[in-house]
Structure 1
Amino acid sequence: MAYVRSAGLRGVRSVIVELGGDADDLARRCALPAGALDDDEILVQDLAIGLLLETAAVELRCPDLGLRVAQRQDLSLLGPVAVAIRNARTTTDALEMTSKYLFFHARSLEITIVPDPEGRQDVLGIRFGYRDDAVPLPPQSVDMVLLFLHRALVQLVGADYGLLSIELPNPLNADRHRYQTLFGAPATPSTGAAILRVPSVLLGRAISGGDQTAQLLALQYLEQHSPPRGQSYSERVRAVLQRSLDTGTSSLGEVAEVLSVSTRTLQRHLTAENTSFSAIRDEVRRDVAARLLATTEIPLFQIASALALDDVTTFSQYARRWWGITAREFRSSRKPSIDPG
Structure 2
Amino acid sequence: MAWVRSAGLRGVRTVVEQLGGDADDLARRANAPDGALDDGELMVRDSTIATILESAARELRCPDFGLRVALEQDLSMLGPLAVALQNAPTAIDALDYTAKYLFVHARNLSVRLVPDPRGSRAVIGVRYGYPDGVQAPPQSIDMGLLFLHRALIYLLGGSYGLRTVEIPHRPVAPRRRYEELFGTQVHWQQPAAVLRVPKDLAQRTIEGGDRTTRLLALSYLDSQTPAAGSAIAGRVKVALQQSLGTGPTTIAAVAALLAVSPRSLQRHLAAEGKAFATVLDDARRERAMTLLTESDLPLAQIASTVGLHSPATLSRYARRWWGTTARDVRRGHSVARPDSRSVSARRDE
- TMscore range, shorter length: 0.5 to 0.7
Deviations 1:276-323 (A, max 9, x none): xxxxxxxxxxxxxxxxxxxxxxxxxxxxxxxxxxxxxxxxxxxxxxxx
Q: CA deviation at 1:160?
A: 2.1
Cα distance in structure 2, aligned partners of 1:14 and 1:207: 31
* Segment drifting more, 150-159 vs 32-41: 150-159
For residue 3 of structure 1, what is the aligned residue in structure 2? 3
Local SS of the residue matching 1:230: helix
Q: CA deviation at 1:231?
A: 7.1
What amino acid is aligned across from residue 196 of structure 1 in structure 2? L
Deviations 1:93-136 (A, max 9, x none): 00111111001111211111001110001001100111x31110
Where in structure 2 are the equivalents of 1:1-341 lying within 5 Å? 1-130=1-130, 132-227=131-226, 229-230=228-229
Local SS of the residue matching 2:229: coil
Cα distance in structure 2, aligned partners of 1:114 and 1:38: 35
Local SS of the residue matching 2:132: coil
Cα distance in structure 1, aligned partners of 2:174 and 2:226: 41
Q: 1:214 to 1:51 in 2, by over 3 A?
A: same
Deviations 1:182-235 (A, max 9, x none): 111111110020111101010111111001010000011001111454379xxx
What amino acid is aligned across from residue 147 of structure 1 in structure 2? L
Cα distance in structure 1, aligned partners of 2:211 and 2:26: 43
Q: CA deviation at 1:13?
A: 0.4
Q: 1:118 to 1:42 in 2, by over 3 A?
A: same
Q: 1:231 to 1:119 in 2, by over 3 A?
A: farther
Pairwise CA RMSD of aligned residues? 1.2
| Structure 1: stretches of 5+ with no match in the other structure | 233-341
Cα distance in structure 1, aligned partners of 2:53 and 2:227: 32
Deviations 1:40-94 (A, max 9, x none): 1000000010011001100000000000000010110011000000000100100
What amino acid is aligned across from residue 81 of structure 1 in structure 2? L
Local SS of the residue matching 1:202: helix
Cα distance in structure 2, aligned partners of 1:60 and 1:207: 39
What amino acid is aligned across from residue 25 of structure 1 in structure 2? D
Instruction: Give the number of equivalent residue pairs.
Output: 231
Cα distance in structure 2, aligned partners of 1:49 and 1:92: 29
Cα distance in structure 2, aligned partners of 1:105 and 1:35: 17
Deviations 1:248-299 (A, max 9, x none): xxxxxxxxxxxxxxxxxxxxxxxxxxxxxxxxxxxxxxxxxxxxxxxxxxxx
* Matched-pair contact (CA < 8 Å) for 1:165–1:186: yes
Local SS of the residue matching 2:162: coil
Deviations 1:151-179 (A, max 9, x none): 11110113221001111110012112111
TM-score scaled by length of structure 1: 0.66
For residue 243 of structure 1, what is the aligned residue in structure 2? none
Runs of 4+ residues deviating >4 angstroms? none
* Matched-pair contact (CA < 8 Å) for 1:10–1:38: yes
Cα distance in structure 1, aligned partners of 2:228 and 2:187: 38
| Structure 2: stretches of 5+ with no match in the other structure | 232-349
Cα distance in structure 2, aligned partners of 1:214 and 1:224: 16
The percent of aligned pairs where both chains have the same amino acid is 58
What amino acid is aligned across from residue 217 of structure 1 in structure 2? L
Cα distance in structure 2, aligned partners of 1:107 and 1:230: 21
* Matched-pair contact (CA < 8 Å) for 1:176–1:186: no
TM-score scaled by length of structure 2: 0.65
For residue 334 of structure 2, what is the aligned residue in structure 1? none
Cα distance in structure 1, aligned partners of 2:224 and 2:196: 32
Local SS of the residue matching 2:121: coil
Cα distance in structure 1, aligned partners of 2:10 and 2:92: 27
Local SS of the residue matching 2:114: strand
